[in-house]
Structure 1
Amino acid sequence: MGTMSVNVATLRSATSVAAARESAREFLEDLAQPTIAAEAADTVILVVSELVTNALRHGSSLCALDLTAHPGSIEVAVHDGSPQAPRMRTPHLNGGTGGFGWPMVNRLARATAVTRRTTGGKTVSALLTW
């Protein structure tokens, strides 16, 4: 099992989220045996994408991604400079965007947590079993 930290670019763009997804794929591919199943890997990458997108959209223009492998689970943690915790919103069903990500992360994860950082900001984490 291993740990990896990835700093996501300071840009508020899809390229930052794409870089986070690619880093997560590489992390999962590099895990020691047993390897993670394709469906579980897709779930981890989806959660990475959602948490990084939320951090860049609602947190601040800079965030960091930490992935930690534990026996039977992967922890996804995203740190950003905003003290405001994610909140459940009513999804926009008629052409709008947003409101789906945080509920989806909570449904996919075994556990989620929001922790205030002593240096400012917060860490949003999700524990995913595989």
Structure 2
Amino acid sequence: METMSLNAETVSSPASVADARDTARDFVAGLARPVAADAADTVVLVVSEHVTNALRHGGGTCALDLTEHPGSIEVAVHDLSTHAPQMRTPDLHGDTGGFGWPMVNRLAHATYVTHSSAGGKTVSAFLPR
């Protein structure tokens, strides 16, 4: 089982999200058991969505953990907020979003939100290999 982590310790900056996407691409490319190109793209997309939301709504810092499992790739993002992601009506005018969490739930085998006793939460998505 392969694990790789990235700490995005700066406030919401596009560079942090871009670094997270690059880390996800490197992680998937470095796996001993290759994944299909569309599965790799899905991992990168979910990393981008999770990290963007964590930086935007989760207190300005986050940590990304990527883990290979036999049938899936786990994307887990830890942030300082205790508020779980919510399904909401997407904003079709582009002002407030609302597309990401439903999209992640459609792409993933499973999603979980766990709260830390030290504060904050982890949002995890298990994606098909």
User: Structure 2 length as normaliser, TM-score?
Assistant: 0.96
Between the aligned residues of both structures, percent identity stands at 68
Determine helix, strand or coil for the equivalent of 2:119: coil
Determine helix, strand or coil for the equivalent of 2:46: helix
The CA deviation at 1:89 is 1.4
In the other structure, the counterpart of 1:126 is 125
CA distance in structure 2 between the aligned counterparts of 1:113 and 1:106, rounded to whole angstroms: 10
- What pairs up with 1:89-108 in 2 under 5 angstroms? 89-108=88-107
Alpha carbons of 1:95 and 1:115: their partners in 2 closer, same or farther (altered >3 Å)?
Answer: closer
In the other structure, the counterpart of 1:44 is 43
CA distance in structure 2 between the aligned counterparts of 1:5 and 1:95, rounded to whole angstroms: 31
Determine helix, strand or coil for the equivalent of 1:88: coil
Determine helix, strand or coil for the equivalent of 1:77: strand
CA distance in structure 2 between the aligned counterparts of 1:94 and 1:7, rounded to whole angstroms: 33
In the other structure, the counterpart of 1:8 is 8
In the other structure, the counterpart of 2:73 is 74
In the other structure, the counterpart of 1:26 is 26
Counterpart code for 2:27: F
Query: Which runs of 4 or more aligned residues in structure 1 lie more than 3 Å from their structure 2 counterparts after TM superposition?
Result: none
CA distance in structure 1 between the aligned counterparts of 2:43 and 2:94, rounded to whole angstroms: 27
How many residues align structurally? 129
In the other structure, the counterpart of 2:34 is 35
Counterpart code for 1:55: A
> Are 1:17 and 2:17 counterparts?
yes
The CA deviation at 1:95 is 3.7
User: Structure 1 length as normaliser, TM-score?
Assistant: 0.95
RMSD, aligned α-carbons: 0.9
